[in-house]
């Protein structure tokens, strides 16, 4: 382009907008007209003829008569937002061969007749959101074969004519969310072979007819959340080969057939939050190896079978919070190589297997909050090299020697701010203290302070015969025998199961830092346990440090 031409264009841009006739109550831009006058009592007759877009917001007129816009043949977009419209003449939008986008949102009309929209052959996007529509005539979309997007959100449909969508072979998006649909006619979606997104969220569906999605081979995203669906038939999703996202949260599903997701080889997101699932059938996700996000929170799961997630090697986020999970098999997360976020909060976990999180080397976030955990096994996070966000609050942490691993790990790796609300549930004298405010030497295991210093089961005051009534943890504690001097600063421990080693531990007196057993002193203990009796003498001799 010549420099002269540039100058010419630049000076045009600087000119004030050419004065052109614009209807009262409207603003006219180059090709757009925007009318938002509450006084506007009719569609203005003097809309600039070359307008391509016209938008009415909160206007007062109630009627769009037959061919109301025939003076504006170039209109491509007509929008009514929150207006008083409730009457349309036959062929109301006739004479607009280029109309691509028609929207009537937020008006109060409950019925439409088919002849209003009879000639909209070029319409690509049709929006009738948040009106008070209760029904639609079967022929409404008869000549709308070009339609790609149909928005019917927020009306009052209880059902729809079975052949309503028959002409819409090119439709890609259908939004029926927030209506009152209690059932879908079996063939309703049969012609929608191009459909990519279907929204049926927040209706009143209690079930889905067999085969209702059978022809939707191109569907990528299906929203069924917020209904009352109780049951899914094994084949209901069987034609959805391209489905990537399936939203089933907030329904009443209490049972899943093992093969219900088996056709969904491209599934990446699945949300089953807020249902009534008590168990997951074996192999439920075996054919969904591309899953990236899976939520099962707010169900009633009590455990997860070992192989449930075996094929989910792409899974990044797994949400199992707000269930009743009391037990997790050691290998349940074994194959989740890509897992970054794992939510296990608000369950009923009491014990975790030491290998539970093994090989989850990408794990960054782990929530264990609001369970019944009193300790975690040593080494449990040793392969979680990227873990830094760990939620632990709401557990009865037993702040004794068994918590030492977790305590050290927290100091070293975790974000301290996260743990201000993590408190000890025991022992009694530490109850309610913040775990991170403790000193490591406070994490000691209980010993009796009896003068002779021996105790075997003592801690639990039970006869040895009771051993089978005890929990596994209690039994392990019984197998140890511990002894200490009255000050608790010299601790002897043996392992009754092996009768082999004797562990002698000298620790400074808590708080003061001085040894309770005086230097150059000697003390004797008679240790009696099922290993036999042994006399132990502990002598301490202080020597000056060498040069
Ligand atoms: C409609 O657009 C065409 C070209 O796109 C133009 O020739 C014609 O003048 C326009 N009609 C009006 C009424 O502005
Ligand atoms: C709804 O039906 C009534 C009577 O059947 C009619 O007068 C009215 O124009 C219709 N409304 C629309 C928006 O078609
Ligand atoms: C549809 O449009 C054509 C030409 O634009 C017209 O002849 C016909 O009457 C219209 N159909 C209806 C039902 O108005
Ligand atoms: C995933 O979708 C593609 C088309 O987008 C299809 O060709 C392929 O078969 C699908 N994969 C599976 C496992 O169904
Ligand atoms: C799922 O994983 C199991 C066990 O790892 C394996 O035997 C099976 O072949 C996998 N299935 C698919 C569809 O990849
Ligand atoms: C948790 O487990 C305890 C004991 O096993 C049981 O009494 C309680 O009902 C469980 N809580 C939930 C929410 O399942
Ligand atoms: C972790 O990975 C190692 C090496 O790949 C493997 O030998 C081990 O069995 C895995 N552990 C678990 C619990 O999957
Ligand atoms: C302990 O005994 C050693 C010699 O056995 C002596 O050198 C040292 O002074 C004594 N220390 C105390 C505190 O009595």
Alpha-carbon distance of 188 to 161, in angstroms, equals 7
For residues 318 and 341, the answer to whether their CB atoms sit within 8 Å is: yes
Q: Which pLDDT value is given to residue 495? A: 54
pLDDT in tens, 435-451: 988 888 788 875 543 33
CA of 271 to the centre of ligand 6 (A): 25
In 196-329, which ranges are E strands? 197-199, 221-223, 245-247, 269-271, 293-295, 317-319
Greater model confidence, 427 or 492: 427
CA of 337 to the centre of ligand 7 (A): 11
Instruction: Give the angle 133-136-141 at the CA atoms, nearest 5°.
Output: 125
Q: Which pLDDT value is given to residue 544? A: 64
pLDDT in tens, 212-229: 999 999 999 999 999 999
Nearest to 121 by CA among 103, 95, 151: 95
- In DSSP terms, 533 is beta-bridged to 528
Ligand 2: atom nearest CA of 86 is 13
Does residue 64 have a pLDDT over 50?
Answer: yes
In this structure, the residues whose C-beta lies within 6 A of any atom of ligand 7 are 331, 334, 355, 358-359
Alpha-carbon distance of 482 to 447, in angstroms, equals 6
Average pLDDT over residues 298-317: 96
Nearest to 300 by CA among 347, 334, 336: 347
Q: Which pLDDT value is given to residue 479? A: 47
Q: Which pLDDT value is given to residue 289? A: 96
Ligand (nearest to CA of 541) = 8
Instruction: Give the angle 326-332-335 at the CA atoms, nearest 5°.
Output: 160
Q: Which pLDDT value is given to residue 470? A: 40
Ligand (nearest to CA of 517) = 8
Residues 6+ apart with CB under 8 A from 356: 328, 330, 332, 333, 380
Give the 3-state secondary structure of 494-523: EECCCCCCEEEEECCCCCCCCCCCCCCEEE
Long-range Cβ contacts of 107-110 (<8 Å, 24+ apart): 107/80, 107/82, 107/83, 107/131, 108/84, 108/132, 109/85, 109/133, 110/134, 110/135, 110/156
Alpha-carbon distance of 127 to 175, in angstroms, equals 9
Residue with the smallest CA separation from ligand 3 atom 8 is 119
CA of 233 to the centre of ligand 5 (A): 23
pLDDT in tens, 15-51: 445 456 899 889 999 899 999 988 888 999 899 999 9
Ligand 5 pocket test, candidate residues 264, 283, 311, most atoms within 8 A of CB: 311
CA of 300 to the centre of ligand 8 (A): 67
Tell me if 139 CB under 6 Å of ligand 5: no
CA 465 to chain CA centroid, nearest Å:
48
pLDDT in tens, 150-192: 999 999 999 999 999 999 999 999 999 999 999 999 999 999 9
Q: Which pLDDT value is given to residue 170? A: 97
Alpha-carbon distance of 232 to 238, in angstroms, equals 11
For residues 404 and 440, the answer to whether their CB atoms sit within 8 Å is: yes
Residue with the smallest CA separation from ligand 4 atom 2 is 242
Q: Which pLDDT value is given to residue 265? A: 96
Ligand (nearest to CA of 241) = 4
Taking the CA atoms of residue 193, residue 195, residue 196 and residue 197 in that order, the dihedral angle to the nearest 10 degrees is -140
Does residue 472 have a pLDDT over 90?
Answer: no
* Least confidently predicted of 255-264, 359-368, 405-414: 405-414
Ligand 6 pocket test, candidate residues 326, 328, 374, 395, most atoms within 8 A of CB: 326
Residue with the smallest CA separation from ligand 7 atom 14 is 334
Share of the chain above pLDDT 70, in %: 79
Average pLDDT, the chain: 84
Nearest to 179 by CA among 246, 128, 235: 128
Ligand 6: atom nearest CA of 324 is 14
Alpha-carbon distance of 5 to 1, in angstroms, equals 7
Q: Which pLDDT value is given to residue 502? A: 64
């Amino acid at each position: 382009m010549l420099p002269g031409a540039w100058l010419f264009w630049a000076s045009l841009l600087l000119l004030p907008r050419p004065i052109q006739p614009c209807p009262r109550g409207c603003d006219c831009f180059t090709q757009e007209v925007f009318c938002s006058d509450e006084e506007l009592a009719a569609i203005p007759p003097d809309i600039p003829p070359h307008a391509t877009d016209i938008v009415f917001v909160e206007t007062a007129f109630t009627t769009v008569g037959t061919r109301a816009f025939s003076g504006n043949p170039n209109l491509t977009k007509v929008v009514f937002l929150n207006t008083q419209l409730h009457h349309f003449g036959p062929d109301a939008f006739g004479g607009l061969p280029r109309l691509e986008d028609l929207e009537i949102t937020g008006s109060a009309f409950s019925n439409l007749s088919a002849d209003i929209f009879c000639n909209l052959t070029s319409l690509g996007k049709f929006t009738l959101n948040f009106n008070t529509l209760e029904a639609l005539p079967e022929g409404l979309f008869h000549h709308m074969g070009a339609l790609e997007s149909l928005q019917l959100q927020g009306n009052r449909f209880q059902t729809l004519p079975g052949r309503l969508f028959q002409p819409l072979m090119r439709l890609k998006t259908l939004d029926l969310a927030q209506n009152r649909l209690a059932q879908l006619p079996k063939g309703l979606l049969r012609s929608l072979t191009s459909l990519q997104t279907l929204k049926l969220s927040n209706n009143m569906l209690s079930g889905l007819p067999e085969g209702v999605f059978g022809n939707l081979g191109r569907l990528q995203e299906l929203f069924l959340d917020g209904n009352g669906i109780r049951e899914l038939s094994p084949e209901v999703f069987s034609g959805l080969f391209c489905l990537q996202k399936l939203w089933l949260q907030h329904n009443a599903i209490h049972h899943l057939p093992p093969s219900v997701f088996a056709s969904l080889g491209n599934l990446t997101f699945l949300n089953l939050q807020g249902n009534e699932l008590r168990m997951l059938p074996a192999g439920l996700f075996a054919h969904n190896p591309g899953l990236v996000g899976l939520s099962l929170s707010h169900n009633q799961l009590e455990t997860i079978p070992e192989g449930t997630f075996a094929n989910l090697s792409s899974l990044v986020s797994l949400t199992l919070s707000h269930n009743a999970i009391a037990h997790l098999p050691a290998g349940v997360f074994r194959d989740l190589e890509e897992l970054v976020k794992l939510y296990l909060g608000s369950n009923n976990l009491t014990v975790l297997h030491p290998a539970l999180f093994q090989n989850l080397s990408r794990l960054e976030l782990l929530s264990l909050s609001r369970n019944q955990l009193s300790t975690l096994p040593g080494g449990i996070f040793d392969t979680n090299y990227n873990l830094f966000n760990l939620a632990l609050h709401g557990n009865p942490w037993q702040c004794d020697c068994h918590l030492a691993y977790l305590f050290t790990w927290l100091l070293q790796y975790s974000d301290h701010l996260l743990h201000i609300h993590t408190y000890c549930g025991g022992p009694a004298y530490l109850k309610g203290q913040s775990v991170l405010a403790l000193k490591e030497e406070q994490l000691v295991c209980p010993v009796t302070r009896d003068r002779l210093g021996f105790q075997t089961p003592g801690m639990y005051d039970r006869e040895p015969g009771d051993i089978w009534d005890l929990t596994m943890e209690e039994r392990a504690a019984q197998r140890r025998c511990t002894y200490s001097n009255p000050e608790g600063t010299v601790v002897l421990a043996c392992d009754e199961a092996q009768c082999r080693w004797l562990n002698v531990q000298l620790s400074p007196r808590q708080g003061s830092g001085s040894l309770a057993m005086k230097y150059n002193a000697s003390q004797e203990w008679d240790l009696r346990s099922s290993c036999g009796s042994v006399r132990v003498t502990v002598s301490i001799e202080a020597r000056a440090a060498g040069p």
